[in-house]
Amino acid sequence: MPADTIVAIDGPAGSGKSTIARRVAKALGFTFLDTGAMYRAATWRALRDGIDMEDREALVASTRAMDLSLLSDGESLKVSVDGEDVTLEIRAEPLTSKIRALDGIPEVRERLVELQRAFGAQGRVVAEGRDMGTVVFRQARCKIFLDASLEARTRRRAEQLREEGVVVEEAQLKVTIHARDESDRNRDASPLRAAEDALVLDTTSMTLEEVEAVILEQARAVF
């Protein structure tokens, strides 16, 4: 696997990973891999089929049977499950709070990691998620861990949602993001943490452009 041409970006919800990863991919001429979209897609499929979210075996079987396609045109990402376009639906809030029913199951992670590595095998990929640098692309030579205060992440997510026309209650959003942090950091399977060889960036008072410039400098020094 040409993991030396992979940029691995990890961080908590609302840290700006997705926006940054897209911009970095575009600037480097790399493909963008949104692994959160894969956990979202697996959750969507389970909900579609009315699977009991406590039934681990059924969740694993559903994830293994999923026909998943991620098509990136550089700007946007189209996600399809079993031939159906689910790009918008997988971002909806009721679904987001159910992802944790799957993301702590080792067999679910194994299957999605397998797909992620197959995607990465082509090389020249910017991959973002929670365990890119610690598990999936451990050999990547450019690893970034993006962080920001809970307040900053809440503010950014609220702005993003408002731009999409969604009415947001910031206090509630903050509680939701905090709950996802706890779940991401404290699960047994691949908990969210920075890889030892990752560059940790606290972006609380950085602009998007500044974050992008630091990552590009790091990437260009390596590739």
List of residues contacting ligand DC (CB under 6 A): 13, 35-36, 39-40, 99, 103, 129-131, 180, 184
Q: Which is nearer to ligand DC, 149 or 217 (CB)?
A: 149
Q: How far is the CB of 27 from ligand DC (least distance, A)?
A: 21
Distance of CA 91 to the CA centre of its chain: 12
Shortest Cβ distance from residue 67 to ligand DC (Å)? 19
Say if residues 138 and 195 touch (Cβ distance below 8 Å). yes
- Residue 181 Cβ vs ligand DC, minimum distance, rounded to whole Å: 9
Work out how close the CB of 165 gets to ligand DC at its nearest, in angstroms, rounded to a whole number. 19
According to DSSP, the residues that pair with 80 across neighbouring strands are 69, 85
Q: Which lies closer to ligand DC via its Cβ, residue 175 or residue 220?
A: 175
How do 31-34 and 125-129 pair as beta strands?
A: parallel
- Rounded to 5, what percent of the chain is helix, strand, coil? 50, 15, 30
Nearer to ligand DC, 141 or 180 (CB): 180
Closer by beta carbon to ligand DC, 120 or else 129: 129
Residue of this chain nearest to ligand DC (CB atom): 36
What separation in angstroms does the CA of 88 have from each of 40, 198, 205? 11, 31, 30
